[in-house]
Structures are given as structure tokens and as C-alpha cells.
Amino acid sequence: MLLHTVNKSPFDRNSLENCLRFAQKGHSILLFEDGIYGALTGTRFETLLKGALKSYNIYVLVPDIQARGMRTENVIDGIKSTDYAGFVDLVAENKTVQAWL
Amino acid sequence: MLLHTVNKSPFDRNSLENCLRFAQKGHSILLFEDGIYGALTGTRFETLLKGALKSYNIYVLVPDIQARGMRTENVIDGIKSTDYAGFVDLVAENKTVQAWL
Amino acid sequence: MKFAILVNEGPYQHQASDSAYQFTQAALKKGHEIFRVFFYHDGVNNASRLTVPPQDDRHIVNRWSELAKAHNLDLVVCIAAAQRRGMLDENEAKRNGKDANNIAEGFRISGLGQLIEAGIQSERLVVFGD
Amino acid sequence: MKFAILVNEGPYQHQASDSAYQFTQAALKKGHEIFRVFFYHDGVNNASRLTVPPQDDRHIVNRWSELAKAHNLDLVVCIAAAQRRGMLDENEAKRNGKDANNIAEGFRISGLGQLIEAGIQSERLVVFGD
Amino acid sequence: MEDEGVVKKFLYLNRKAPYGSIYALESLEVVLIGAAFDQDVSLAFIDDGVYQLKKNQQTSVTSGIGVKDFSKTYRALEGYDVEKLYVDKKTMEERGLSTDDLLVPVEVLDDAQMAELMEQQDVVLSF
Amino acid sequence: MEDEGVVKKFLYLNRKAPYGSIYALESLEVVLIGAAFDQDVSLAFIDDGVYQLKKNQQTSVTSGIGVKDFSKTYRALEGYDVEKLYVDKKTMEERGLSTDDLLVPVEVLDDAQMAELMEQQDVVLSF
């Protein structure tokens, strides 16, 4: 299994979109740094993410959410909150990490 | 009058799209660095650029085209080819330069 | 488990180095081994001993140096990327006729083979960049 | 006409400094005046005297230094951005207790006011970045 | 302060999110220094730049992402007579944000109004 | 060379255009050094990364944009036994490119094939 990491805002770059195009069913995707903006309710990308949750395990890094003034209550239902320790576990649990830089 | 400069590929960033949203009729737009990919025929953005040509004077920097293995023959009809000297003239002719970084 | 870390961006300009630091610290806390942290592209600028950030901000370079000291980390700066960007150790400065060097304690300059080796020897490679 | 140039990215990593150099050269050739080139963000790294690019590549730092010498250009490096990133002149090194400095000939370190002043005094400001 | 008599229209164009990169912070540093020059200053926040103004930013050198929280400085802008802050309407809508979500009072401009603001400027600083 | 016996699958993931930034060039430098390690190496070119392989790149330190043209090096990869180069089908279509436009022979993969390639990797180097 693969862990995909996305660190850019979906408004700014195409990395999340491309990650979703190539990730296989059951893969994990971690949104961190400016990537967290994709995990929030009320944005233009909410529908895309809700659809993606049917195929992938999606995680978001809480320290990056909080730094940017967002609240975990506003994270789309089904996206799992995690921290750096959880990030480490995700890396350990998956065979390979693929960064969408 | 404003000169807008766009140095990023429209595939990679939203800068060209946003520049087109805010540029006023008659403004000039220079595509350079990775921005030149927006000036070429055959891409997903050709229709957008052809529409934009009705409102704006669009220029593309030839040294950036050539460096990337593209040919001026493949530049969309109506987009004007220029070089660094032409870039300098564009800056001089317009009151303000707005970079879409 | 044995991890390797790749940092592709310089300090302050992008979050990459901060994220890599937090990740490395969390991995160590969990008892994982960090085989190597490799600094490439502008990432080499994380190794400058001349940085003087504002007093109320984090000191990215010192933070890496201290973590390396505490956990005996191998912080490797790519020589080719470093030369292009003016990051030199004493040997490199001499070899290139430069009158100063600027590498911080705890970092060493070496070749790209060290990155490949890290990929081979470690069970996971995590990349932080722009 | 009087131009000012702002460079927001470091050498080699992005094309910004290359483009700014080509633009500046073309402007000078056409008889325009370059009031100032201001280096901000990672752009401060364009001023490092320790860079050693491959022999078959351009030397971005020396190219700026030489252009400055030939045309008496004012190349200004932002002090706050420079400190964060380890770019120091002799005075700054002393003041901060650092044992080395790394600024190249033709560049000077000064405050952000110099950027605003460039915006006021010049008829055009052109920004190069990422 | 300096260059008395000359008053130019300066626009700071902010299109990048905070923390992921330093542009937001270093742009703010220019605005603060620039305030001493008594120019006619406007700040525009477009695209992810609007996130710079989000309320409740929480991080510090020793907690969270380990990066200094500089968001309170936007509140200080008023004290420097920097009061013309504009956000883009479409930007806000696409992100589900309202002006209540922001740290400071801003004026929301539609495409035509923002274009008009840009048209009037003498100097545009893009970060 | 070193680490004999261990053969891992390495994927170089290239998503950025050449010249606008250095990632393309420095990624290629890793590939060349890495070739000595006798690993199972693949290169994937997705998004603007495919532009790295465009034929007829023309610039030099003294002409054009004043940057070294490094594109010929892709032709040397074969001599280093780096022969698995893959491009993404959608990427090519969106850009109006065909394999005739590229410097070196590549295999065009659709979404499912590219996903499969990624699935098999041990180490992914993203630049």
C-alpha cells in the first residue's frame, strides 16, 4: 500500500487532483502544510474530497490546520485528523511514501 | 495601462486564469518563463487564450519558447512574439507592471 | 523501523524543512531510527552557520544541529547542489579557492550517492519539498 | 526611463534571477537607467560570494557583480531576509558574532526602506519571482 | 518621512497562503516599513492570499508546526494608517469564507472593482 | 557497485517544467549518480514534467535565456541502462504532444497503468 502526501492547496496547484487520479483504491492520502485547505467543508473542493473518501483513507495534519486558524470541526466528515506521531505511523504502515510535490 | 506578467504554466498554477479575470480591456499581458506554455497551439488552454485575444494584447517571450524546445510557428495566431528588448519596451509603454506571482 | 528523510527546500522560504524537522523528531520519539537526513536543491541552505533569524523566531539551522547532536543523526548536504548555492565546508572552500566557509556543526557535505544509499538502506524514504 | 528591479528568488532554484538579469541587461542596452536592483526573500542568496557553479554553467552571482561594476548598479540585499538566510557582510558578521561573511563584491546589505524608495523614485518597478 | 511631496499609489498583491511559504510574513514586513513613507497604500488579498487574514491562527516556535504566529501583526496595521485592505469576492466564495472569519476589517470587491483598484496603481509589489 | 544484492524499485517522479526551476536538472543528476547502484530504476513524467523531454531545446549560457541546455543528457540515459521512461497519456493529450515530440523513446501509460507502476515501487523520489 502507498501513502500519498499532498502539501499544496488545491486552489494553487494541481497536486491533489493528480494524486487522486493515480492513487489506487484503499491507499492513504495525507493532507498537510497548505494541503490542509483541501480538507475543509464549504470550499469549492468539498465535493471532490467527499467523492474521494469512497476510495481512499484521507488524513489531515491537525497542527497545520490550527496554525492556519482552521478548526478540526470544519474538516469534512470522514477525513481523519492526525498529528506528527500519526504521520510517522502512516509512513511505517505503508510500504512506500509518494510525495506529490 | 497595465502590463501583466505571467511566468507560470497554466497547467501548474492559477496565475494566468486570475490575470485574465482582473485585466481590463486593452491591457497587455506578457507570458514568459514557464508561462510560455500557455501561448501554444494544441493545448487544453488554446480556447481560453483565443478568447482572451479579443480583449488583450498578449505577448510571449521567444527566448523562453526556444529554450523549452517550442517553435514560434506553434504560437497561437494573434499572440505577438517578443524578446527581452521588447519586454523592456512593454514595461516603458505601460504605466504599471503587475506580476502574477 | 529505519527512515530516511529528503529535504528539498531552504529554511524559512518554504515549510519543508520545518515539517521534516517535526516529522524526524516524532519518529525518534517513537523509537524509529533515522538513517540519514539528506538536503538537496535549496535544502542545502539549511546548513548555513551564518543564519541569524529574529530572536522571537525558531532557529531552523541550530534546531537541526541540536537534534543531530542529541540523536547522532547523519545530516548530509549534497555537494553539487551546495556548490551552486554557496554552501561550503572548510575543505571545499580551500579546494575552490574561497576565503570562507559557512557550514554549521552537525552537517557534512557529500555526494548524491548518499541519497541513493539512504533509499536502499532505509525501509522508508519521506520527501519534503515545495 | 528609470527602472527598479525586485528579485524574490535565489540563484539556480528558479529562473527569476536569470530573467531579471536578462531584463536589466536589455534595459541598460536601450539606454534606460536602473535605479536599483533589490534582492528579497530567497533572492538574497544571489549575493553569495561562495558559490561555485559547474564550469559549463553560468555564474549567476558573478554575472550580477560584473554588470554592477560595468554600469555602476546599486545591488541591494534586504537585511532582514539576509539574516534569516545566512547572508552577511563584514559588519553584520561582526555585529552578530559570526566568524565569517559571504557577501560578494558589488552587493550591499540594507533595509526594506530601500525597496520602497526604489518604488517611489523609479518610474517602473518590475518584479521577478516564483 | 523621506521623499516628501511624492505620493504614489502602492498595491501589495498577496496571493499565497501563510506558513506554507514565507511570502505572507515578508510581505507584511515590507508593508510595515513602507508605512513610514506616507504613500497611498492598498493591500489586496486574492486566491490563497486571503487565508493570511484568517482568525484564530495558532502556532508558536515551541508548539504546533513550530513556526512563529505572525497573524496578530495584521491587527497592528491600523496603527500604521494602513487601512485599505481588499479581498476578492470570488476568492471568499470558493473557500466558504465570510468577512467574519477574518482578523481585520476588509472591503470585499467584485472582479470589476478589483480590476479598477489595480488600474489605479503606480507600483504593484507582488509576493 | 555498493550494496550488492539489494535491488529496490526506484521511481523518479518528475512533475515540473525545465528551466523555470532547477528540479528537472537536479533530478537528472540524481538519476545519473543512482545508475551506478544497479537498482531497478523507472522515470515517470507527469504534468509539466513531460516538457523536460521536449525535443529542440535551445539555450546556452551566452544566448537565449542564458541558462545551460541540459536536455541532451536525457539521450545519455540509455548508456547508463536507464531505459524505463514513462509518460502519462492525459498529460500528453492536454498539451497536444505526441511521442515524436520527445527526445527519447518513452512508453505512454494510461491512468491505470501509471497507478500500477507507482504501486510496485519501493522508493519514490519526487522533485
The string of pLDDT tens digits covering residues F24-73 is 999 999 999 999 999 999 999 999 999 999 999 999 999 999 999 999 99
The residues that bridge with A97 in the sheet, in sequence order, are A3
Which of C78, C79, C88, C115 is catalytic? The answer is C78
Task: Report percent pLDDT > 90 for chain D.
Answer: 100
Domain range for E80:
9-126
Q: Quick check: E118 and B2 in contact, CB under 8 A?
A: yes
Of E20, E65, E68, the CB nearest to C56: E68
Contacting partners of chain E (3+ CB pairs under 8 A): A, B, C, D
Can you give the CATH number for the domain in which E114 is found?
A: 3.40.1260.10
Annotated catalytic, D60? no
Q: What is the DSSP string of E79-116?
A: GGT--EEEEEHHHHHHTT--GGGBSS--EEE-HHHHHH
Average of per-residue pLDDT across D59-86: 98
Q: Quickly tell me which residue has 544541529 as its cell.
A: C65
Q: Indicate yes or no: CB of A101 within 8 angstroms of CB of C1.
A: no
Average of per-residue pLDDT across B32-42: 98
So what's the pLDDT on residue E104? 98
Q: Indicate yes or no: CB of F47 within 8 angstroms of CB of A14.
A: yes
Q: Quick check: B38 and B10 in contact, CB under 8 A?
A: yes
Average pLDDT score over chain D: 98
Q: Quick check: D103 and D87 in contact, CB under 8 A?
A: yes
| Distance between E63 CA and the closest CA of chain B, angstroms | 31
Domains of chain D: residue spans and CATH: 2-128 (3.40.1260.10)
Of C41, C113, C125, the CB nearest to F22: C41
**Cβ neighbourhood burial of D95 (10 Å; 0-12, 13-18, 19+):** exposed
Tens of pLDDT along C43-53? 999 999 999 99
Q: Indicate yes or no: CB of C10 within 8 angstroms of CB of D49.
A: no
Which residues are CB-neighbours of D63 under 8 A, at least 6 positions away? D21
Q: Is residue F1 domain-resident?
A: no
Q: Quick check: A60 and A75 in contact, CB under 8 A?
A: yes
Q: Is the per-residue pLDDT at F1 higher than 60?
A: no
> Which among F5, F79, F15, F81 is positioned nearest to F42, based on CA atoms?
F81
Within 8 A of C111 by CB-CB distance, chain F residues are 33
Alpha carbons within 13 angstroms on the beta-carbon side of residue B30 total 29
Can you give the CATH number for the domain in which B10 is found?
A: 3.40.1260.10
So what's the pLDDT on residue F4? 60
Contacting partners of chain F (3+ CB pairs under 8 A): A, B, C, D
> Which among D44, B97, D58, E80 is positioned nearest to F62, based on CA atoms?
D58
Of E21, E61, E68, the CB nearest to C13: E21
10-residue mean pLDDT series, chain E (127 residues): 76 98 98 96 98 97 96 96 97 98 98 98 97
Alpha carbons within 13 angstroms on the beta-carbon side of residue C62 total 10
Q: Is the per-residue pLDDT at D14 higher than 90?
A: yes
Q: Indicate yes or no: CB of D127 within 8 angstroms of CB of B99.
A: yes
Chain length of chain E = 127
Of A33, A64, A69, the CB nearest to E55: A69
Within 8 A of C119 by CB-CB distance, chain F residues are 8, 10, 39, 123, 125
Mutate to test the interface with F, among D9, D17, D18 (most CBs of F within 10 A): D18
**Cβ neighbourhood burial of C57 (10 Å; 0-12, 13-18, 19+):** middle
Q: Is residue E1 domain-resident?
A: no
Q: Is residue E3 domain-resident?
A: no
Average of per-residue pLDDT across D30-46: 98
Q: Is residue F96 domain-resident?
A: yes
| Distance between D126 CA and the closest CA of chain C, angstroms | 21
| Distance between B1 CA and the closest CA of chain E, angstroms | 7
Confidence band, pLDDT 50/70/90 cuts, at residue F6: confident
Retrieve residue E35's grid coordinates: 508605512
Instruction: Classify strands C2-7 and C33-39 as parallel, antiparallel or unpaired.
Output: parallel
Cα(E19)–Cα(C59) distance, integer angstroms: 15
So what's the pLDDT on residue A22? 98
Q: Quick check: E39 and A41 in contact, CB under 8 A?
A: no
Q: Quickly tell me which residue has 500604521 as its cell.
A: E80
Tens of pLDDT along C53-101? 999 999 999 999 999 999 999 999 999 999 999 999 999 999 999 999 9
Report yes or no on whether pTM surpasses 0.80.
Answer: yes
Number of domains within chain E: 1
Q: What is the DSSP string of chain A?
A: -EEEEE-S-TTT-SHHHHHHHHPPTT-EEEE-GGGGGGGBTTSTTHHHHHHHTTT-EEEEEHHHHHHTT--GGGBPTTPEEE-HHHHHHHHHHSSEEEE--
Number of domains within chain B: 1
Q: Quickly tell me which residue has 519543508 as its cell.
A: C16
| Distance between B60 CA and the closest CA of chain A, angstroms | 23
Q: Quickly tell me which residue has 541587461 as its cell.
A: D25
Q: Quick check: F88 and F46 in contact, CB under 8 A?
A: yes
Q: Indicate yes or no: CB of A7 within 8 angstroms of CB of C19.
A: yes
| Distance between D56 CA and the closest CA of chain E, angstroms | 32
Q: Indicate yes or no: CB of D23 within 8 angstroms of CB of B33.
A: no
Within 8 A of F57 by CB-CB distance, chain B residues are 66-69
Retrieve residue B43's grid coordinates: 493545448
> Which among D16, D54, B70, D58 is positioned nearest to F58, based on CA atoms?
B70
Chains E and B touch (3+ CB pairs under 8 A): yes
Q: Indicate yes or no: CB of E22 within 8 angstroms of CB of C12.
A: yes
Domain range for B56:
2-100
Collapse the DSSP code of F50 into the 3-class scheme (helix H, G, I; strand E, B; otherwise coil) and give the result. Answer: helix
Q: Is residue E57 domain-resident?
A: yes
ipTM over 0.90: yes
